[in-house]
Structure 1
Amino acid sequence: MSASIADMRQEYSQKSLDISDAASDPVEQFHQWFEEARNAQLPEPNAMHLATADSEGRPSGRIVLLKGIESQTGYRPQFIFYTNYQSRKGDEMEKNPNVALTFFWAELERQVRIAGTIAKVDEVTSTEYFHSRPRASQIGAWVSPQSEPIENREVLDQRKTQFTEKFANQEVPRPPHWGGYAVSPLSIEFWQGRPSRLHDRIYYQLTDDQWQIQRLAP
């Protein structure tokens, strides 16, 4: 089995990426690639790997969904997602705000890596997004004590029945333990697969509120 895994290879040859073709603003470049992923009808192009670390530097990762990008003049751009504040990732982000995001669009042979700091979005924004979700998802936010041990699946079923009855015939309020986070990037790297593992890597770093761009060796 180990030998068969070691023999797995993919030759990348679809496209290229040069500094002369890249946008001067990495968020603009991200939007361009993201729209190409959407137009290619990739499954969940907004799925991203979120890496966090606890107060002792021990890392953990999971997939979350990008739900918005805010980019205002004079402010650092923000990549937004929503989750349970009391989850493991919520606890880790509270203690260590340094995080990383990774998008991987295999069908386009592309990867985007984002490193930066994280903070909660305001309550109004969290509430507005919460009420845009399907009602079942709203109930689910109340049901799950995310990352906590539970005895069995029936615990969730019972809690689902409880909260469904509790909020019957009324608007489901946003739980106080649930809301949005915004990642403000300090660096963004765009990776385009190329033949012979000589990939294109275009790296943006924020320095004195200005994006500096350079090519990295693969």
Structure 2
Amino acid sequence: MKTTILRRAALAGVALSALLATAACGGDDTGGMTHGTGSSSAAGASPSAGATFNDADVMFAQMMIPHHQQAVTMADLAPTRASDTELKDLAARIKAAQDPEITTMKGWLTAWGKPTDLPSDHSMPGMTSGMPGMMSEQQMKNLAAANGAAFDKMFAELMIAHHNGAIDMAKAEQADGSNPEAKALAARIASDQATEVQTLRKILDRL
């Protein structure tokens, strides 16, 4: 009798231990999935949230956003106003490259707790006030009013100046910034837009 009671108690203890272990495993799985989803979502929303940054990184993003936005506005005019096929294709590539970069830089600034709008008293290390290569309001109106070969020539000339300004800003970020992702983007902008300037100059030569 005593042996039977002890055996039943032992079996009950084993069953209870197994039940507790199963519950614990289930809790870990659920918690792990929730944590993983949260981590993945946070990483996607703010890829540079945990990275270091300095004032040059912030100013680079704040300045390059409106600079890119103006280039996209210029590129948006090409499909209905340009006559040169190569220039139309280049304008489409400019828009396709710079639209996502605008989104990326806005994400950085949000993650860093900085405004996405450029402060009125902006300046950048190594530069005079203002953004290099930006078109005036009158220049943008003139471009929007042009068509055909006149548009092609004006677009190429203005975009060369615009790109050269972006290259200067990118080089300043490479020299003075500290955020690895911002410096990598600056390097890509400098390289890609230098190539596009060469293409625009070739287009100008044959117009």
Question: Could you state the TM-score of these two structures normalised by the residue count of structure 2?
Answer: 0.18
Higher helix content, 1 or 2? 2
Higher strand share: 1
Structure whose CA Rg is larger: 2
TM-score (ref. length: structure 1)? 0.17
